[in-house]
Structure 1
Amino acid sequence: MGRRSVVTAAAAADLPAVRGRLTPAAPLAPLVWFKSGGAADWLFEPADRDDLSAFLAALDPAMPVYPLGLGSNLIVRDGGMPGVVIRLGKPFARVERADAVTLRCGGGASGILVSSTARDAGIAGTEFLRSIPGTVGGFVRMNGGAYGREVSDILVEATVVRRDGAVEVWPAARLHYRYRHSDLPEGVVVVEALFRGHPGEPAAIGAEMDRIAAEREASQPLRSRTGGSTFKNPEGHKAWALVDAAGCRGLTRGDAQVSEKHCNFLLNLGQASSAEIEALGEEVRARVKAQSGVSLEWEIQRVGVAK
Structure 2
Amino acid sequence: MSEAQTLGQQVRGRLTAQAPLAPLVWFKSGGAAERLFEPADVADLQAFLAALDPATPVMALGLGSNLIIRDGGVPGVVVRLGKPFAKVSQVDAVTLECGGGASGILVSSSARDAGIGGIEFLRSIPGTVGGFVRMNGGAYGREVRDILVEATVVLRSGELVTLTNADLGYTYRHSDLPAGAIVVSAIFRGHPAEPAAVQAEMDRIAAAREASQPLRSKTGGSTFKNPLPKKAWEVIDAAGCRGLTIGEAQVSEKHCNFLLNLGTARSADIEALGEEVRARVRAHSGTELEWEIQRVGIYADHAKQGSVGVSA
Q: CA deviation at 1:235?
A: 2.1
Do structure 1's residue 239 and structure 2's residue 235 form an aligned pair? no
Deviations 1:69-109 (A, max 9, x none): 00000000000000110000000000000111000000000
> What residue identity is the alignment partner of 2:98?
C
2:51 counterpart residue number: 58
1:101 counterpart residue number: 94
1:78 counterpart residue number: 71
2:280 counterpart residue number: 287
Q: CA deviation at 1:8?
A: 3.0
Match of residue 33, structure 2, among 40, 52, 56: 40
Given that 2:4 and 2:14 are in contact with CA atoms closer than 8 Å, whether structure 1 keeps it comes out as: no
Whole-Å Cα distance in 1 between the matches of residues 38 and 152 of structure 2?
Answer: 18
Q: Which runs of 5+ in 2 are unaligned?
A: 301-312
Aligned length: 300
Alignment of 1:72-221 (within 5 A): 72-221=65-214
**What CA RMSD, in Å, does the superposition of the two structures yield over aligned residues?**
0.8
Whole-Å Cα distance in 2 between the matches of residues 139 and 209 of structure 1?
Answer: 18
Do structure 1's residue 276 and structure 2's residue 272 form an aligned pair? no
Do structure 1's residue 8 and structure 2's residue 9 form an aligned pair? no
Q: CA deviation at 1:269?
A: 0.3
Match of residue 254, structure 2, among 252, 261, 273: 261
Q: Which runs of 5+ in 1 are unaligned?
A: none
> What residue identity is the alignment partner of 1:254?
G
Whole-Å Cα distance in 2 between the matches of residues 235 and 200 of structure 1?
Answer: 31
SS at match of 1:226: strand
Given that 2:224 and 2:291 are in contact with CA atoms closer than 8 Å, whether structure 1 keeps it comes out as: yes
SS at match of 2:3: coil
Q: CA deviation at 1:185?
A: 1.3
Whole-Å Cα distance in 2 between the matches of residues 251 and 152 of structure 1?
Answer: 35
Give TM-score scaled by structure 1 length: 0.97
> What residue identity is the alignment partner of 1:228?
G
Q: Percent identity?
A: 76
Whole-Å Cα distance in 1 between the matches of residues 4 and 258 of structure 2?
Answer: 41
Whole-Å Cα distance in 2 between the matches of residues 187 and 26 of structure 1?
Answer: 19
Do structure 1's residue 18 and structure 2's residue 18 form an aligned pair? no
Whole-Å Cα distance in 2 between the matches of residues 238 and 65 of structure 1?
Answer: 33
1:27 counterpart residue number: 20
Q: CA deviation at 1:236?
A: 1.6
Do structure 1's residue 248 and structure 2's residue 241 form an aligned pair? yes
Do structure 1's residue 302 and structure 2's residue 299 form an aligned pair? no
> What residue identity is the alignment partner of 1:143?
N
Whole-Å Cα distance in 2 between the matches of residues 63 and 291 of structure 1?
Answer: 42
